[in-house]
Amino acid sequence: MPDGFRGQLLSGWGRAGATRADVQTPPDADAIVDLLSEADGRGIVARGLGRSYGDAAQCAGGTVVDTVRLAGAGAVDASGEVEVAAGTSLDTLVRHSVPDGWFLPVTPGTRQVTVGGAIASDVHGKNHHVDGGFCRHVTAMTIATPTGLRRVSHAQDGELFWATAGGMGLTGVVTSARLRMLEVDTDRMLVDTDRFVDLDGVMSAMEGGDDRYRYSVAWVDCSGPVRAKASRARGRPGVGRAVLTRGDHARAEDLPSRLRSAPSPPGRPRLGVPRCVPRGILNRASIAAFNEAWYRRAPAHREAEVQPMWRFFHPLDGVADWNRLYGRAGFLQYQFAVPPSSGDVVTAVVRELSARRIPSFLAVLKRFGPSSPGPLSFPIPGWTLALDVPLGAEGLAACLDRLDEMVAESNGRVYLAKDSRLRPDVLAVMYPRLAELSSVRRRVDPGGVVRSDLSRRLGLD
Amino acid sequence: MLDAFGQPQSAVVLGGTSDLAGAVVRALAQRRLRTLVLAGRDEERLRSAASSAVAAGAERVSTVRFDAQDVSDAARAVDECFDVAGPVDLLLLAVGVLSHRQDELDSSATAEVVTATYSWPAVALTRAASRMSEQGYGRIVVLSSLVAVRVPRHNFVYGSAKAGLDAFSIGLGDALSGTGVIVQVVRLGRAPTKMTEGLPGAPLSTTPEAVADAVVAGLESRAQVVWVPPAARWVALARLVPQSLWRRIPG
């Protein structure tokens, strides 16, 4: 690097579009307030474990506050609440709380996110249709802003609380949060599995039966044409075969006595991916083969299977740095949500991707329950679909632009924690309450210094 | 900001009045481009290029004048472009005159070609690199030419200047590693444009639209070198031809 430039290159989990920022690792909340009040127009934003796929936790030419030193959790009190420093990962938190029988009230597909990041994205899990998003279980939090440290809750400055919930870090830096945990008896799950030949089947099963389960998610195969041919030969519809898994925490009495031990923390990742992966390991053929094998492995119908909790919630945490599999080009994740009446948009998206032969790993389909009051919080009641796509697929950019329009027209939205390419004018249609976020930001950050590459790209500043 | 596909929302085009530049701007405006600064010499042509850019979908278009013969002004011109545009996602360098067969040893013509094709661009790129390094990100795309790969006898003044700029750009890209700024060199076959009117058609020729598509695809791939047309990459083999034979090849 030429002299006079410091900092380091940061990119999202999708590994596209690295930008350089001055990374600071302040020891405590006061030091963060100092950094925020000294920041200028080049901007400043928080970063946790870098698991958002796009450019939410980077700030080109400005300052990035790495919250790694804000670590640690108190004891879970009798009511199940725990105060956690925002740089603590969910992994660390559950290792600390699970032996006493306290699990995360909401967990995304990985434990490798910080509490601050989970709040900034208002992450959701397989239980959203029952329990809502992460921030619904946050009873209070401390936010460092350029105008000082603020303690907020639903009742106390609820406006700032909810603007921060899913606010992509644009209101300041969350330094600590009080979280209401979920009591569990064991570290096992009782899981029902069902296999469906097409999307319509799995969607009606979810509409009809999800309410009986705390957790529900379906994996959908979007890699169409290859298999569509085989399926047609057997007289079956081709697009979007799926495996639906639903379940709940097992109580001790549900289990044979040998499995009735106290809950134990997760194991460490046993596999890793080397830094340099040759181009094209994940291509149409390998992805289709993987999807095929995965579908055939699933039983057509199985009830009350006992599964380890960690494998049920975080299957990918067993492989460290799996994002490197996509090689230097990187990848992106497209996740959108549409209202309950717009299930046809989900079908149309899967159809479009398979017709365009865009290689995609299993997509994750789930039903959302009520949304949170946050103006930028992603979940809305209805359906959500998330899929990983390698960058470099032909026609991908234009295809996703068309999908955005379909989603926006049905009053849906895409998830900003996954986004790295949305058009700013479409954002305003998807999130009609942007003005509320702006007014809170003007109040706590009158200089407009809290900003990120994402906020600049989407015209949120 | 650039998106995951490397597509810019704001761009500066040095040499913004050429056909090639116009085609690239149109392609970028179809994607994410909204803020554009066109820089060039001729005010009239700048105005017309600016209105085409607006018609193509760019919202904020401004123009900056410079003279590629005035090397001492290059840094100023680049600064003005950056100051007008705000953060610049993409800088496209499309400056350079194509000298028609320069058989005579005309020292003033040599000075002109070398200045506009190498010296001015090199200074401008240096300044742009430094502004983008401050930003912490950015793309620089330099339009180069197949003649830069192996300099043809009949066009050696221009060819050598392009070869210099091509090498300069590759070196600049390496020097900028770690800054967030990426330099890409686009090596073009012959494009039928204003500059090449009257010259006979050649193998490996291309069109402004093909160049524009290649630039857009190149931004996505982040490749250090982009060949247009793709088959042009085999021209690299021309380096293996002995000089005694090369000088006999009719240009």
pLDDT tens readout for residues A434-455: 999 999 999 999 999 999 999 9
pLDDT of residue B201: 56
Size of chain A, expressed as the number of residues it contains? 461
Give the residue-averaged pLDDT of B238-249: 82
Q: Do both A229 and A140 map to the same domain?
A: no
Contact list, B136 vs chain A (CB under 8 Å): 7, 19-21, 59-62
Q: Is the CB of B220 less than 8 angstroms away from the CB of A392?
A: yes
pLDDT of residue A227: 45
Indicate if the pLDDT at residue B194 is higher than 70.
Answer: no
Q: Do both A250 and A101 map to the same domain?
A: no
pLDDT of residue A302: 93
Q: Do both A203 and A350 map to the same domain?
A: yes
Let me know: does B33 contact B58? Beta carbons within 8 Å. Answer: yes
pLDDT of residue A222: 83
Search chain A and give the residue with CA nearest B10.
Answer: A457
Question: Looking at the complex, does the CB of residue B221 fall below 8 Å from at least one CB of chain A?
Answer: yes
Give the residue from A9, A59, A389 with the most B CB atoms within 10 Å of its CB, the best one to mutate.
A9
Question: CA of A266, closest CA in chain B: separation in Å?
Answer: 34
Q: Do both A360 and A379 map to the same domain?
A: yes
Question: CA of A62, closest CA in chain B: separation in Å?
Answer: 8
Nearest to A2 among B31, B133, B221 (CB): B133
Contact list, A55 vs chain B (CB under 8 Å): 1
Q: Which residue among B66, B118, B120, B158 is the active-site one?
A: B158
Domains, chain B, ranges and CATH? 10-246 (3.40.50.720)
Question: Looking at the complex, does the CB of residue A117 fall below 8 Å from at least one CB of chain B?
Answer: no
Which of A184, A213, A230 represents a domain boundary (last residue)?
Answer: A184
Search chain B and give the residue with CA nearest A395.
Answer: B217
Q: Is the CB of A392 less than 8 angstroms away from the CB of B221?
A: yes
Least confident interval from A103-117, A231-245, B62-76, B107-121? A231-245
Question: Looking at the complex, does the CB of residue A400 fall below 8 Å from at least one CB of chain B?
Answer: no
Question: Looking at the complex, does the CB of residue B9 fall below 8 Å from at least one CB of chain A?
Answer: yes
At A310 the three-state DSSP class reads helix
**Closest CA relative to residue A418, chosen from A442, A386, A443, A446:** A386
Contact list, B178 vs chain A (CB under 8 Å): 1, 9, 20
φ, ψ dihedrals at A134, nearest 5°: -55, -45
d(CA A214, CA A163) in angstroms, rounded, equals 27
Q: Is the CB of A1 less than 8 angstroms away from the CB of B135?
A: no
Rg of chain B taking only CA atoms, in angstroms: 17
**Closest CA relative to residue A122, chosen from A380, A461, A382:** A380
Q: Is the CB of A456 less than 8 angstroms away from the CB of B178?
A: no
Contact list, B87 vs chain A (CB under 8 Å): 60-61, 456
Question: Looking at the complex, does the CB of residue B1 fall below 8 Å from at least one CB of chain A?
Answer: yes
CATH of the domain at A246: 3.30.70.2520
**Closest CA relative to residue B183, chosen from B92, B85, B96, B115:** B92
d(CA B232, CA A185) in angstroms, rounded, equals 67
Contact list, A329 vs chain B (CB under 8 Å): 221-222
Search chain B and give the residue with CA nearest A398.
Answer: B31
Search chain A and give the residue with CA nearest B3.
Answer: A421
pLDDT above 70 coverage of chain B, percent: 91
Q: Do both A177 and A237 map to the same domain?
A: no
Q: Do both A154 and A262 map to the same domain?
A: no
**Closest CA relative to residue A139, chosen from A167, A170, A105:** A105
The total number of structural domains in chain A stands at 2
Let me know: does B86 contact B38? Beta carbons within 8 Å. Answer: no
Contact list, B1 vs chain A (CB under 8 Å): 55, 60, 453-454, 456-457
B198 band by pLDDT with thresholds 50, 70 and 90: low
Task: Report if residue A434 sits inside a domain.
Answer: no
Give the residue-averaged pLDDT of B24-41: 97
Task: Report if residue A458 sits inside a domain.
Answer: no
Search chain A and give the residue with CA nearest B134.
Answer: A61
Task: Report if residue A220 sits inside a domain.
Answer: yes
Q: What's B160's DSSP letter?
A: H
CATH of the domain at A137: 3.30.465.10
Which of A150, A184, A218 represents a domain boundary (last residue)?
Answer: A184
Task: Report if residue A36 sits inside a domain.
Answer: no
Q: Do both A175 and A193 map to the same domain?
A: no
Q: Is the CB of A420 less than 8 angstroms away from the CB of B4?
A: yes
pLDDT digit string (tens) for A125-136?
Answer: 999 999 999 999
pLDDT of residue A317: 83
pLDDT digit string (tens) for A162-186?
Answer: 999 999 999 999 999 999 999 999 9
Which of A149, A184, A219 represents a domain boundary (last residue)?
Answer: A184
Task: Report if residue A457 sits inside a domain.
Answer: no
Q: Is the CB of A397 less than 8 angstroms away from the CB of B176?
A: no
At A319 the three-state DSSP class reads strand
With residues binned 3-state (H G I as helix, E B as strand, rest as coil), the percentages for chain B, rounded to 5, are 50, 15, 30
Rg of chain A taking only CA atoms, in angstroms: 22
pLDDT tens for chain A, residues 1 to 461: 565 567 999 999 998 889 999 999 999 999 999 999 999 999 999 999 999 999 999 999 999 999 999 999 999 999 999 999 999 999 999 999 999 999 999 999 999 999 999 999 999 999 999 999 999 999 999 999 999 999 999 999 999 999 999 999 999 999 999 999 999 999 999 999 999 999 999 999 999 999 999 999 999 988 764 444 444 445 444 578 999 999 999 999 999 988 887 888 888 877 788 777 776 777 777 877 878 887 888 889 999 999 999 999 998 887 888 888 887 788 899 999 999 999 999 999 998 888 888 878 779 999 999 999 999 999 999 999 999 888 888 889 999 999 999 999 999 999 999 999 999 999 999 999 999 999 999 999 999 999 999 999 999 98
Q: Do both A408 and A301 map to the same domain?
A: yes
Task: Report if residue A335 sits inside a domain.
Answer: yes
Q: Do both A161 and A194 map to the same domain?
A: no
Q: Do both A161 and A224 map to the same domain?
A: no
Task: Report if residue A430 sits inside a domain.
Answer: no
Q: Do both A247 and A169 map to the same domain?
A: no
Question: CA of A421, closest CA in chain B: separation in Å?
Answer: 5
Contact list, B7 vs chain A (CB under 8 Å): 397, 421
Nearest to A2 among B1, B9, B175 (CB): B175
Question: Looking at the complex, does the CB of residue A15 fall below 8 Å from at least one CB of chain B?
Answer: no
Crossing angle of helices A396-409 and A343-355, in 10° steps, is: 170
Question: Looking at the complex, does the CB of residue B240 fall below 8 Å from at least one CB of chain A?
Answer: no
Q: Do both A144 and A132 map to the same domain?
A: yes
Residue listed under structure tokens 């390998």: A286
Search chain B and give the residue with CA nearest A418.
Answer: B4
Contact list, B135 vs chain A (CB under 8 Å): 60-61
Search chain B and give the residue with CA nearest A53.
Answer: B4
Contacts 24+ apart (CB under 8 A), A266-271: A266/A91, A266/A94, A266/A95, A266/A111, A266/A310, A266/A314, A266/A317, A267/A310, A267/A318, A269/A317, A269/A318, A269/A319, A269/A320, A270/A318, A271/A318, A271/A319, A271/A320
| First vs last C-alpha separation in chain B | 43
Task: Report if residue A24 sits inside a domain.
Answer: no
The encoded tokens of residue A227 equal 């298999």
Amino acid letter at B228? V
> What's the domain range around A77?
69-184
Q: Is the CB of B220 less than 8 angstroms away from the CB of A397?
A: yes
Nearest to A421 among B3, B133, B176 (CB): B3
B118 assigned to active site: no
d(CA A136, CA A141) in angstroms, rounded, equals 12
Q: Is the CB of B137 less than 8 angstroms away from the CB of A397?
A: no
